[in-house]
Amino acid sequence: MTTLRFALTPGEPAGIGPDLCLLLARNAQPHALIAVASLDLLERRASELGVDIRLIAIDPDALPDAPAPAGSLYVWDTPLRAPAYPGKLDPRNADYVLETLTRAGQGCLDGHFAGMITAPVHKGVINEAGIAFSGHTEFLADLTATRQVVMMLATRGLRVALVTTHLPLKDVPAAITPERLQRVSRILHTDLVEKFGIPRPRILVCGLNPHAGEGGHLGREELEIIEPTLEGLRAEGLNLVGPLPADTLFTPKHLEHCDAVLAMYHDQGLPVLKYKGFGAAVNVTLGLPIIRTSVDHGTALDLAGTGDIDCGSLEVALETAYQMAGSRG
């Protein structure tokens, strides 16, 4: 197996991200994993956690090719702007968080990293610092000059992508336009082929309304927007099945023969996925020219520095990034 390099960003320094990076480093990785983080932060957090991890400062102009041994972690030192303490947010470190993301993302664009894996950030404290920030996804889209991205969550045995993401439910129907549905479907199909190595992905598409509109009696979006759009996409060669009623789509009979589900809105698809794989799910940003995966949870400020955390989601995020890079060749 070819050894690749990946960037790991620990996110909010007062949260559990640094802890996750350190606990993860207890086990050997198959690739060279480089934490883009404050060396001082990781040293102090390791001491607070009582874990013995050897932190290896690296030169960004001479990045290592071989994996770090078990019990050690490569670190591209990125200094904090202010001291960081578990559970205590400080807006002064907002620039630090964004600098880690910029270094990792630009490193992917420049070909130094095969992908990046992100631990959770705290959007509120970044905005308190006077920086307009709505999340990793939008930040990386701007950094990579990407017009359209798609949010997909995955766990073992299920992938769910979203046509709309963080919208009030009352605004969802108007947002499901033929143009948006076309863009999202094409991105999902293309990335399943190019980044997941699935030659002809089979995608199940949810209807918007109960019973997928029941022939227009429970809503007309399926008849007037979704079905005509899917027909046009099928003519392009996309293997799209639906629109199907969401309440029966998420059953073993249907999921057994699909590569991804396309849900119309956030709480249509993600509750099922999180029920199936909470703590072992990954957030994948599709449509970027780089590979980016993330954990499916927040900063958990109350658990930072306690060691009472589960690395499952970060482990799956790593696994997924490795598989995607391998499929990309």
Beta strand extents in 97-176 (DSSP E only)? 115-118, 150-155, 158-162
Q: Who's near 46: CB < 8 A, 6+ residues apart? A: 22, 52, 53, 55
d(CA 304, CA 288): 31
CB of 291 closer than 8 Å to CB of 321: yes
Of 169, 195, 328, 317, give the one whose Cα is nearest residue 260. Answer: 195
Instruction: Extract the annotated binding site for a divalent metal cation.
Output: 166, 211, 266
Known binding-site residue numbers: 136-137, 166, 211, 266, 274, 283, 292
Spatial neighbors of 66 by CB under 8 A, at least 6 apart, are: 3, 32
Known binding residues for substrate are: 136-137, 274, 283, 292
DSSP assignment, residue 31? S
Cα separation, 295 vs 8, in Å, equals 11
* Residues 226/157/296/202 CA torsion (nearest 10 deg): -30
Burial (CB count within 10 angstroms: exposed 0-12, middle 13-18, buried 19+), residue 59: exposed
Residue 299 in tokens: 């900063």
